[in-house]
Chain A
Amino acid sequence: MSAPVLETRDLTIRFGGHVAVDGVSCAFHSGTLTAIVGPNGAGKTTYFNIMSGQLPASSGSVLLDGEDITRVGVSGRAQLGIGRAFQITNLFPHLTVHENVRLAVQAKSGHAANLWTRWSSHTAWIERAEHYLEEVNLAGQRNALAASLSHGGKRRLEVAIMMALEPHVFMFDEPTAGMSVDEVPVILDLIHRLKGHGDKTILLVEHKMDVVRSLADRIVVLHNGRLVADGDPAAVIASPAVQEAYLGRPAGKAAAHG
């Protein structure tokens, strides 16, 4: 197998006495979609936060293409190609839908800090933003304020922003949570197409097992901050660790979660 794109070694974070992520070592390869599952509070989002830089690791390290990036800040990691779509929608509320995505395109451009040209003269950025809005079915609302979108619309915008960054590593944190039934396929299709490129490293936190089953090449299970299972989807789902991790989890909870 090729060298991993993203890797964590013995990654740990403590909040006071509580160990939210506990010695997780895991490597993610290009061309692979890894689903990360586990009950509420398992540490999935926290694990993401340490990898994309929002939270500092208490110990252990994060590597990107073999380089240690544990000390690199959030913006630095984004520039290195780590893209993140957040579980709790994280937009620019009083800017337009289009502007939200255009800012992501601009961030990638290398002329982001240009003081003297007009933003509107960079038509390529505007068109690329338009493209990603179409991908998530939001082109019709391009001039609406992000804050005015429905919950599902905000979730789709959240995904479009990450897509527009054109990262190497895509981190989806429950992208379809709280979406209406007709919105879910839009996102799943998009992830499917992304997978089709064959060279992307995709991490997906997802509660819905049918989604996981249809998309994942590999499943990693977190439970109480620890990695308890890792491997082929069918095998992992059948494993005792997963059965135990999800035991007692109310049946409707996964779908209602958001």
Chain B
Amino acid sequence: MLGAILSGDFPRSRVLTVVLLAIFVGLAITPFAIPGAAAINTAAKICYFIVLVVSYDLLLGYTGIVSFAHAMFFGIGGYGVGLSLYALGPTWPVILLGLAIGLVVAIVLALLIGLLSLRVKAIFFAMITLAVASAFAILATQFNEFTGGEDGRSFRVPEMLRPGYRLFDGEVFGTAITGRLLTYYLVFVSAVLLFLVALRIVNSPFGRVLQAIRENPMRAEALGYRVVYYRTMANCLAAAMAVCAGAMSALWLRYTGPDTTLSFAIMLDILLMVVIGGMGTMYGAVVGATLFIVAQNYLQRLMGIAAAATEGIPILPKLLHPDRWLLFLGVLFVLSVYFFPTGIIGKLRGSNKA
């Protein structure tokens, strides 16, 4: 039963199993366990970033494709749903329409990028995705009256998903069942389902070919696998999943804009999350995304406290200023790549065998 749900791909390490269970249970109960907007915001962000990072790992870790266009596909999902809700009003069919538009645009783009450039060397492919993503980000900000430009767009969501909505009077475990809570669980359940779909794909015969292509595209071709077809499919599947992540973020934030979805900063975050967790394992992407976002939210706070505590000492407070959190994350990143070249998952699985 569990084997079927996880497509026979188990964590294969006791520590990892515990960590994954902790993440799952943590995300499932956050709204009830930790009061306040900060915790639920962090949890929701973890959910849609897990989908985003898992889909990116399908490309980078499984197929060996380096693409810088993943944040763009995330953005297409966010803008697709966001702009549709903004323009057509806050109803459920509009959400589906926005998602469908996003999916079509993303898959067509992924197909074009794939067919035009997956035949070329990896480095050129990476450059082309970078160029397309930059062009797209510029377009999105230039079409001011349509997209809201640099400011992005805030929009309303269906009644049921608004903070003011109550499913019923009264509370469950001391928590009112608000529209916010319903949105959270919509995002959470979508994340779980999409993760399981991704796990299914990488453990299918198709997914195995992707790994073969990562290892040795020439030999894969010599076995009779049309590498261009498989790479293009992987590109389209990853793009479609990124669109779903974008749609989830739009519903949660009730806002879509260049900085939250399209920016190169997001692309870098995705890359870091995949590498920290361990490339080529879906579970690694989950751990990487969770760790990174928790660090992003709480490292800054921790640093704020540290900066205040070291007030008066010369350089330290400046160094510990919350704005420098990325510097520390960078140091952590370098250390983790140095000590766990196969990511956290590789480390956990390796130590399990010993």
Contacts and interface: CB of A to CB of B under 8 A. Distances in A.
Interface of A: 52, 54, 73-76, 78-79, 84, 86, 90-95, 99, 102-104, 106-109, 111-120, 122, 161, 165
Interface in B209-235: 209, 211-212, 215-216, 218-227, 229-230, 233
A112 B218 CA distance: 17
A78 B200 contact: no
Contact of B222 (A78, A109, A118): A78
Given A79-B224, A165-B223, A165-B224, A120 B8 contact: yes
Nearest to A92: B215
B320 to A, nearest CB: 41
B206 A90 contact: no
B260 interface: no
A84 B222 contact: yes
A75 B219 contact: no
Given A103-B223, A112-B225, A115-B201, 12 more contacts: A54-B222, A75-B225, A90-B219, A99-B208, A102-B208, A103-B208, A104-B223, A113-B205, A113-B229, A114-B205, A115-B206, A118-B203
Contacts of A93: 215-216
Given A103-B212, A120-B8, A92 B219 contact: yes
Contacts of B229: 113
13 contacts: A52-B222, A54-B222, A74-B221, A75-B221, A78-B221, A90-B222, A92-B211, A99-B208, A103-B209, A106-B208, A107-B223, A117-B205, A118-B7
Contact of A114 (B206, B211, B222): B206
B222 A74 contact: yes
B207 interface: yes
Given A91-B216, A112-B209, A119 B222 contact: no
B216 A90 contact: yes
Interface of B: 7-8, 200-201, 203-209, 211-212, 215-216, 218-227, 229-230, 233
A18 B3 CA distance: 58
B205 A92 contact: no
A106 B205 contact: yes
Contacts of B218: 54, 74, 90
Contacts of A103: 208-209, 212, 220, 223
Contacts of A74: 218, 221-222
B216 A92 contact: yes
Nearest to B237: A115
Chain A CB within 10 Å, residue with most, of B209, B215, B218: B215
Nearest to A74: B221
A27 B8 CA distance: 48
A111 B205 contact: yes
A183 B205 CA distance: 32
Contacts of A104: 223
Contacts of B208: 99, 102-103, 106, 119
**What's the dominant secondary structure at chain B's contact region?**
helix
B215 A95 contact: yes
Contacts of A111: 205
B348 to A, nearest CB: 18
Contact of B209 (A73, A76, A106): A106
Contacts of B227: 75
Of B7, B201, B205, B207, chain A has the most CB atoms within 10 Å of the CB of B205
A111 B204 CA distance: 10
Contacts of A54: 218, 222
A107 B206 contact: no
A26 B97 CA distance: 61
A93 B218 CA distance: 13
Given A84-B222, A107-B223, A120-B8, A95 B205 contact: no
B222 A113 contact: no
Nearest to A108: B224
Given A116-B204, A119-B207, A122-B205, A107 B219 contact: no
Contacts of A114: 204-206
A119 B203 contact: yes
A52 B221 CA distance: 11
Contacts of B207: 115, 119
A-B residue pairs, 9 tightest by C-beta? A78-B224, A92-B215, A107-B223, A107-B224, A79-B224, A74-B221, A114-B205, A115-B206, A75-B226
